[in-house]
Amino acid sequence: MNPKLVKWFEDAWYKEMYISAWFMPLSMLYVDAVRLRRFAYRVGIKKRTRLPVPVIIVGNITVGGTGKTPLVIWMVEFLKQNGFKPGVISRGYAGKANTSPQSVTADSDPLQVGDEAVLLAKRCACPIVVGADRVAAARQLLSSNACDVLISDDGLQHYALERDIEIVVIDGQRRFGNGYCLPVGPLREPQERVKQVDLVVVNGPDELLEGELPMHCKGQQLINMKTGERKLLVEFKGIPCHAIAAIGNPVRFFAQLATAGLDCQTHALPDHHPFTAEDLQFKEPRPVIMTEKDAVKCARFATDLHWYLPIDAELPEAFSQQLLKLLKDKAHG
């Protein structure tokens, strides 16, 4: 989609810009279609597939990034520490692989399998398979790996895959925007859907509603993409830099750098932007700082001016306890 059109819609959804009433009938039709589709799966008109291991869905009900990937990375490590053997499936958004589903490793081409999938492979050290058909991706993963729990990165609306646990991630800053479904608002499903999931995680501010659990994503150290050198964020304080982000909510990343005292000229690009070397070239020879997700696409033409910021999620003990209890209660016999 045209970046200017994307920007127009985001302003309309999150900045209370007036949208013509002409769009409202489309939103009503969209909601009816969503509810009819869920009903078809619920009563068996559409087939749902049950897998031989527990399936955990980590998703959202809004368009754009909310912080699912850091949570998936955290969950993989947590489950390993508690004796599980997790695997991850993902859609591989923006990937152009000729075959699907496809296994992903840390050395996979992000242009083929998607940037988020390669990031997961680099951080998780567990089996990962991508594919638009989540059921097919899951079957391929389980056919060649001894996993006893499956995490689906996104896929809340992919109802063909039966799930045991649903986790919704909410952007704590933007939440649900104007509260309307597409195309009037950013919601993929009506807001009532949040009340039907097992766990609700809010990424960001501490203002929580009843039943919500906080997640804080933190990064303190920059890594040079050419040399591997590590430096604390505070070491760049006061140094003019460029900051690039091609993620769902680049403002969050830029704000994190500003809070750390960095003086950055910001450059926001569309989510999953296919970077070229020209995107990282500027007249001033300043450090260029980007997200870890963008770094997997830029590594092949990075120089010693290019740095990325790894992000780690922090979750409360209450989330850990509830997740283990849900697995114990809902695990297959």
Structure tokens at 19: 């949208």
Integer Cα distance of 290 and 292 in angstroms: 7
Fill in the amino acid letter for 307. W
Q: Report the largest interatomic distance among the alpha carbons of the chain, rounded to a whole angstrom.
A: 62
64 appears as a binding residue in the annotation? yes
Integer Cα distance of 221 and 211 in angstroms: 32
Residue 235's CB is within 10 A of a number of other CB atoms, namely 12
Integer Cα distance of 181 and 183 in angstroms: 6
How does strand 212-218 pair with strand 102-103? unpaired
68 appears as a binding residue in the annotation? yes
44 appears as a binding residue in the annotation? no
Structure tokens at 256: 């994190």
Integer Cα distance of 3 and 200 in angstroms: 30
67 appears as a binding residue in the annotation? yes
65 appears as a binding residue in the annotation? yes
Report CA dihedral (189, 190, 195, 196) to the nearest 10 degrees: -50
62 appears as a binding residue in the annotation? yes
Cis? peptide before 270, omega within 30° of 0: no
Structure tokens at 60: 């959202």
Structure tokens at 10: 């985001």
Given a contact cutoff of 8 angstroms between Cβ atoms, the answer to whether 78 and 317 are in contact is no
Structure tokens at 319: 């989330």
Known binding residues for ATP: 62-69
Task: Extract the annotated binding site.
Answer: 62-69
